A and B are shown apart, each in its own frame.
Chain A
Amino acid sequence: MYRLALGTVLSGLHRIMGLALSASSLLLVAWLAAAARGPEAYATATRFFSSLPVRLVLAGALLAFWYHLFAGLRHLSWDLGLGFEKSTARKSGMAIVALAVLAWAATLALAWRFLMASP
């Protein structure tokens, strides 16, 4: 029961994190467009990206990036027929969660100077 629940939760999470990244890509598009547009547009974008809600969204997108990456690699390994056994799937499921949180913490530390920079 627990195994089934874990697998279902992680699989749903993979989709939700993917959708979150799709939504976040709009921020990336806006940022690139502002950089291309000129200094005034970029200054407006910088103010927007420096606001607390957007900083929180970006920190969340960073977690979504790592989770979706590791969970995606797990899905790709299943495509190759690897890791289907229940005990292996359970271990890899817990591993990707741990890896995602670790990678998130590490890159969040690196991103901190950007996230906390004054506009």
Chain B
Amino acid sequence: MNGQVSARAAGRTPDRHATGHWRNQRLTAIGLVPLGLWFLLKLLSLPDLGHATVRAWIAQPAQAALLLLFGMFALWHSAQGVQAVVDDYVGGRLHAPATRLLQMAHWAAALAVAWSIWTIARSGA
């Protein structure tokens, strides 16, 4: 049925480091079910997407914390997923630079998200 998953699981099970990756991938996947639903429904329930409304939303500490958690989980999960695709399709000499590039891009995005939320939350609206 799903050769992709079972082949990967079979290949990785004996490797403890890799089982850690597998577990982390499931952790972010499970976490993103409520976090992703919360983010989407929250966004859609805002009265408008004007600057003042968006800042007032993120300025609330609990909302800022949730948004930060969602952002970090989403980007971590994204890095894991893109890495899996790179592992499957980018071989040889390109594998290492592709891995570095995807990791740097995700770190940069995570920093930008953290900085943005921090800046808005600190300003108080």
Question: Which of A22, A36, A79, A107 makes the CB contact (< 8 A) with B82?
Answer: A22
Question: Does A59 reach chain B (CB closer than 8 Å)?
Answer: no
Cα of A25 to Cα of B30 in the assembled complex, Å: 18
Cα of A29 to Cα of B116 in the assembled complex, Å: 9
- B116 with A36: CB separation less than 8 A: yes
Q: Is the interface of B mostly helix, strand, loop or mixed?
A: helix
- A35 with B85: CB separation less than 8 A: no
- B2 with A7: CB separation less than 8 A: yes
Q: Mark A50-68, 1 if CB is under 8 A from B, else 0.
A: 0000000000001001000
How many residues of A are in contact with the other chain, CB < 8 A? Answer: 36
With a CB–CB cut-off of 8 A, which chain B residues contact A79? 26
With a CB–CB cut-off of 8 A, which chain B residues contact A89? 1
User: A4 — nearest CB in chain B belongs to which residue?
Assistant: B1
Which residues on B are within 8 Å of A, measured CB to CB? 1-2, 4-5, 26, 29-30, 32-33, 36-37, 40, 44, 48-49, 51, 54-55, 58, 71, 74-75, 78, 81-82, 84-85, 109, 112-113, 115-117, 119-120
- A36 with B44: CB separation less than 8 A: no
User: B102 — nearest CB in chain A belongs to which residue?
Assistant: A22
Question: Which of A11, A65, A76 makes the CB contact (< 8 A) with B29?
Answer: A76
- A107 with B44: CB separation less than 8 A: yes
Cα of A29 to Cα of B112 in the assembled complex, Å: 7
Cα of A115 to Cα of B109 in the assembled complex, Å: 24
Cα of A62 to Cα of B1 in the assembled complex, Å: 27
CB-defined A-B contacts under 8 Å, sample of 7: A32-B112, A32-B116, A35-B54, A65-B40, A69-B33, A72-B29, A117-B49
Please give the distance in Å from B88's CB to the nearest CB on chain A.
9
User: A85 — nearest CB in chain B belongs to which residue?
Assistant: B1
- A33 with B78: CB separation less than 8 A: no
User: B54 — nearest CB in chain A belongs to which residue?
Assistant: A35
